[in-house]
Amino acid sequence: MLDDFFMRALIAGVGLAIVVGPLGCFVVWRRMAYFGDTMAHSALLGVALSFLFDISLMIGVFGVAALVSLLLITLQKRKSLPTDALLGILSHSALAIGLVLVAFMAWLRIDLMGYLFGDILSVSVGDIAMIYGGGIAILAVLALIWRGLLAASVSEELAEVEGLKPERTKLIFMLLMAGVVAIAIKIVGILLITALLIIPAATARRFATTPEVMAVLASIFGVMSVIGGLFSSLQYDTPSGPSIVVMAVVLFILSLLPARQGRSS
């Protein structure tokens, strides 16, 4: 018989995996892995500001991640620096400012390791409600912009000609990413969010025949990673968040084996 906290962790992890699967596909298609890192690193600044101003952790993290997204789009329009340089500046600046703020708040005892690597076993019923409620909203918005975002991933010029407004769609997608980071921070932590976004989507790409199939498969592989990682963590007494990501890596490696056999024959 599994403990209640383990069942809550399973339910929360499955809900998160279902949400990040389709978003992760666009991260892979649009080559935005570094943007995912930037969102994740900005989360620590959101955590620090949440404690400083005594507001909800998810609101603080979402607010900072959304602000970073808007700042990135503004700086991109100036074309003074390439996007990868801007992402590097924003990512490391937000992370450093967050760490400095945490250091200044000496009156607080903050479990930095918990925020960096997550603690899925500590999720509450309220956290689960937030994950599923926020997840449904994120997926609903993604469904509305799916066609425009997919077209822009292929060619922004073509999407512009078709009247799909790629810039607006890109901004909405970035805000959805900020929402996922805010939801995921307690489960897999700041440093592992990008891995959960990218690895299941990369695994799904091997088997997908259409973008929609890839999105569904990415969620399925994410769910498998959560379930396998949590049970491995229970069996071998390893950290839960990293165990989930390790399981995702194992699935990715296994997905490559048939292709290697095919080439060798």
Which tokens hold the place of 35? 């943007």
Assigned domain for 260 exists: no
Which tokens hold the place of 87? 């992402």
Assigned domain for 99 exists: yes
**230 burial level (CB within 10 Å; 0-12, 13-18, 19+):** buried
Question: What is the C-alpha to C-alpha distance for residues 195 and 139, in angstroms, rounded to an integer?
Answer: 19
Q: Report helix, strand or coil for 226.
A: helix
Q: What is the structure's pLDDT at 259?
A: 54
Q: What is the structure's pLDDT at 77?
A: 83
Summarised one tens digit per residue, pLDDT across range 165-193 is 888 998 999 999 999 998 888 788 887 88
Where residue 67 sits, what CATH number does that domain have?
1.10.3470.10
Assigned domain for 261 exists: no
Assigned domain for 263 exists: no
Full DSSP string of 80-123 = SS-HHHHHHHHHHHHHHHHHHHHHH-TTS---HHHHHH--GGG-
What is the residue range of 54's domain? 4-255
| Dihedral angle sign, alpha carbons of residues 90, 96, 102, 105 | negative
Weakly modelled stretches of the chain, pLDDT under 70: 1, 258-265
Quote the pTM value: 0.89
The answer to whether 200 and 222 have CB atoms below 8 angstroms apart is: yes
Assigned domain for 160 exists: yes
Question: What is the C-alpha to C-alpha distance for residues 43 and 41, in angstroms, rounded to an integer?
Answer: 5
Q: How many domains does the chain have?
A: 1
Assigned domain for 161 exists: yes
